[in-house]
Structure 1
Amino acid sequence: DQSMQPHILSRGTAAAVAARRMRNILGSVAGSWMWRTREVKLINTSSGDTVTIGDISYKLKMPQNPELVPVKHISDSLPQTVAQHLRWIMQKDLLGQDMFLIGPPGPLRRSIAMQYLELTKREVEYLALSRDTTETDLKQRREIRSGTAFYIDQVALVPSSYPFCAVRAATQGRVLVLEGLEKAERNVLPVLNNLLENREMQLEDGRFLMSAERYDKLLQEHTKEELDSWKIVRVSEDFRVIALGIPVPKYKGNPLDPPLRSRFQARDIYYLPFKDQLEMLYTAGPNIGAERVSQLLSLATTLCSQESSGLGLPDFPVDNLPSALQVLNVFPTLSSQQLVQRLYPYKSILGKEGCTAVENVLSRFELLDSRRQQVPTCVLNVSAVKDTKSHANVTLDVAGKEVAFQVHSGTNEPRLLSSSPFFICTPSQSQLIAEMMQSHMVKDICLIGAKGCGKSAIAREFAEILGYSIEPVMLYQVIKKSVFFSTFFLYI
């Protein structure tokens, strides 16, 4: 109908205008908040220093205890993804909100938290939660001295498992970093919940922690001496909590209660994008071909995908790739497959189907190249570095060529392998110790082998060569994920 045509056109024109306007709005929002480059700057003014990340600014305060401020966590080149995470943390910090950084296992979440604390010069109190953590570990411990009970705040003089506590962080305005929130038992969660929601906590010695706002209101009606006699302690307005955890039920752990989960502002800290990871790996291994670096990163990304998780494959420790490339940078003839096995011991943790799936991925990215399998055969020389007692020069024999590098060493004098009268070294053991020297250049080592195959003897000989002192610790549980993501694995 011609009478209806102008109305249809006008309605279509209005819809088109509305759609165009919506695209402009969304485009401007996405451009300003999502895709804009976040620059981290330090501005020096007469009123004080200010740190800006994008459009968010934070005025620095002089820390009372500079030794509690993290150092050496910020790299020269900061990826944009990390800058966006730092901007989000700064925004929540300025709003006075606690944060929960959730993501897959690895050091990335803790590294981002420490980078922010170093950037803003905030003092940190660190507490690693476990299934053995109790309410007392967060508050106070009771000691009996000469028949008298004393309540002592958990400070750095207590066992190293719990070096700091929530009480000191709350009263002195520090940032409490709680790692492993998914491991906390039910009896610990109510204490954390009340501290997060109301900034309140009842201590064992009768003191009561109270939020700064309520304390200041009471101070208007009562004197400080009266509040002290009532054992009321003020919680600093600078007190913040940064919790670190992994998603449950994908990973093992206790799911968070809804009341506790609602106290946090959560942020998903996933692996860095492929481009950012690639730039970091190029820096870690400047002598390695770009194609080989891309193949290793593609393998790691594939093994961390949802499809690989559906096959029952564990996540690949992507954060260990820079350390692996440092080894590959010194030993370019090392096989990529052998390097992957040190990071990802799939033959020991997976069945036949899992090993087949991993090897199919290795074959897809052309990492099953046997031509590069030139392993070190023995340790030729070990000597202490002049003017320092913490490093040693090591020379290995790799395919008839001598390769020298430096590793950390102990306080004792290093010695050669053949000088021990209590250890008879076979060619396979000599090769294993040489491979341990390679891994020790960048990471800790985990020896995997059957019972009675000589793991302790190899570890003792390796320690004596580099001048280390041995401290045996018996473990009675399966290897934890934290070990899987922080060590190099070698087979015996």
Structure 2
Amino acid sequence: MQSRLLCFSGGPAARRVRLILQQVARGRLAAERQLQPEVRALHGLRGGYDSGDTVTIGDVSFKLKTPKSPELVPLNYMSDNLAQSVVQYLRWIMQKDLLGQDVFLIGPPGPLRRSIAMQYLELTKREVEYIALSRDTTETDLKQRREIRAGTAFYIDQCAVRAATEGRILVLEGLEKAERNVLPVLNNLLENREMQLEDGRFLMSAERYDKLLQEHTKTELDGWKIVRVSEDFRVIALGLPVPRYSGNPLDPPLRSRFQARDVYYLPFKDHLKLLYSVGSNVSAQRISQLLSFATTLCSQESSTLGLPDFPLDSLSAAVQILDSFPMMSVQAIIKWLYPYHILLGKEGRTAVEDALKRFELQDSESPLLPNRIKKVEQIHGSKTLQADVTVQIAEKEVKFQVPAGTRPLKLCSGSDAFIKTSSHKQLLAEMMQSHMVKDMCLIGGKGCGKTVIAKEFANMLGYNIEPVMLYQVK
């Protein structure tokens, strides 16, 4: 929707229009005032509350219970500055939880959906059973795994069975990646809270189990191998919309088991407020231009041109780097997040560069980038393993902290197999900047030295390396 300036002259018609606009404005202000108590009620109950306390989001309240396994309750997902849209998502999930319904959060790639699910679990002190689905996930990974010990076969309960019997929330991520013959095993568990297990036990809903318990003893039900499914058991599924993104579309019977909610990117206003709080040393205009550019690449018009979505959730990491290095080039950081010069063809690169020009983010001269790492020093007395790193950029030296490993730190490995060139020094300094806020991925041709650079980087920060060979399935 485009914003336009409306001008009215005198007359009865103009007065009527002004009256209508005043009523609309008052209605919008009243709606915003109604949303504010939700944030205050939510923030007022964060922290060390006990069993029997109540968490309230707006007009929805949830009574807390003491978790049996506190180590399974997510931590450090809640923040003091929750976006209003996130509060609305949490309120909706709480409504469905109170109704005993499973939910399906569907939206574009990124950590937002998982973060919302974990924030709700932390807020309500609920235990989680998490599984990331893939093409290799089988029925055994969800129900029971068979093990042989000393010549005897045992069945070990997996995530779905543990969540059902212990009253936990089962988080299924990547629903679109699972094979079509895997998820139907959950159909009856989702709809009727019932499931037949390989070891002979039968999971039964709490309501039916309690009715049977009125007519039979607990010993009889145990002899029949009937297990009660907890009334607190819920499922939160996370997935991408198919067919826009690649994956398997959901079967209609399975899809009908969930209450779905479209979790798109944060609204522009909420995202801008979040970035302002992260980058206090970055100008507001620069942050606004960066977010406008990223939002443009996630629009429907950009997807029509074949451009991949910009990772909007990683903008906070980019702003953190700019906050520590305000002299750095914005276009260079954009290339770290969105390597369009590698991923796209000529037309795609032209479209991205046109967007950079439109939002005044293109470098007019050679960009300022870090030259080399000057110092790497261990921080002693810290609760977490940290290192002080000093990087030279232009003629300035900037000092910042990064996570470190357990081994001694070495600025130079001294290996005869690796000779640092100026490009290697610059790459290692850029990797150190990325490591300050996020994980990284080195992209390059075969034999260009990616593994050697990774080992040198690990030696600098005292990390142990664990190689994992990946392959592409055709």
Match of 1:106 in 2: 110
Alignment-derived partner of residue 84 in structure 2 = 80
Unaligned runs of 5+ in 1: 1-23, 155-164, 479-492
Could you say which residue in structure 2 is the equivalent of 1:63? 67
One-letter amino acid of the structure 1 residue matched with residue 102 of structure 2? D
Question: How many correspondences in the alignment?
Answer: 445
Q: Distance in 2 between matches of 1:233 and 1:150?
A: 18
Question: Which AA in structure 1 matches 2:225?
Answer: K
Any idea what SS the aligned residue of 1:474 has? Answer: coil
Paired residue for 1:36? Answer: 35
Q: How does 1:157-306 map to 2 (within 5 A)?
A: 165-306=159-300
Task: Output the CA distance in 2 between the equivalents of 1:404 and 1:218.
Answer: 68
What is residue 126 of structure 2 aligned with on the other side?
122
Q: How far 1:34 moved relative to its partner?
A: 11
Correspondence 1:332 to 2:332: no
On the 8 A contact 2:160/2:170 being kept in 1, the answer is yes
**Match status 1:357 vs 2:354:** no
> Does the CA-based 8 Å contact 1:333-1:373 persist in structure 2?
no
TM-score (norm 2): 0.90
- Matches of 1:104 and 1:136, distance apart in 2: 29
CA RMSD of superposed structures (Å): 2.3
Match of 1:4 in 2: none
Larger mean Cα displacement after TM superposition, 28-37 or 69-78 = 28-37
Cα pair 1:418 1:425 within 8 Å, conserved = no
C-alpha deviation, 1:145, in angstroms: 1.9
**2:242 counterpart letter in structure 1:** V
The amino acid that maps onto 2:103 is M
Residue in 2 aligned with 1:387?
Answer: 381
Q: Deviations over 1:263-312 (max 9, x none)?
A: 10001111111110001001111000111000100011000000001111
8 Å contact 2:407–2:462 — kept in the other structure?
A: yes
**Matches of 1:397 and 1:143, distance apart in 2:** 56
Q: Is the 8 A contact 1:374 1:398 kept in 2?
A: yes
2:374 is aligned with 1:370? no
CA 28–277 in structure 1, closer or farther in 2 if over 3 Å, else same: closer
Displaced runs of 4 or more, over 3 A: 27-37, 40-47, 418-422
3-state secondary structure, aligned to 1:247:
coil
Q: Give yes or no for contact 1:378–1:430 (8 Å, CA) kept in 2.
A: yes
Q: How many angstroms apart in 2 are the aligned matches of 1:372 and 1:114? A: 43
The amino acid that maps onto 1:66 is P
1:141 aligns with 2:112: no
Q: Is 1:438 matched with 2:442?
A: no
1:394-453 superposed Cα distances (whole Å, 9 cap, x missing partner): 111110211111111111011113644432101111111111111110111111111111
User: In the alignment, is the contact (CA less than 8 A) between 1:177 and 1:242 conserved in 2?
Assistant: yes
Matches of 1:107 and 1:344, distance apart in 2: 17
* Structure 2 gaps, min length 5: 1-22
Structure 1 letter corresponding to 2:463: Y
1:321 corresponds, among 298, 308, 315, to 315
The Cα of 1:32 is off from its aligned counterpart by 6.4
The answer for the alignment partner of 1:464 in structure 2 is 459
Q: Percent identity?
A: 71
How far does the alpha carbon of each residue in 1:375-410 deviate from its partner, in whole angstroms, 9 at most, with x for none? 111111111111246111111111021111111111
Question: Which is worse superposed, 187-196 or 273-282?
Answer: 187-196
Q: Which amino acid aligns with 1:470?
A: I
How far did residue 186 of structure 1 move? 1.5
- The CA deviation string for residues 38-96 of structure 1, in whole angstroms up to 9 with x for no partner, is 33345699993111111111111111111111111111111111111111000000000
* CA distance in structure 1 between the partners assigned to 2:344 and 2:107 by the alignment: 23
Q: 1:415 and 1:306, CA in 2 relative to 1: closer, same or farther beyond 3 A?
A: same
* Alpha-carbon distance between aligned partners in 2 of 1:275 and 1:346, rounded to the nearest angstrom: 26
Equivalent in 398, 421, 430 of residue 426 of structure 1: 421
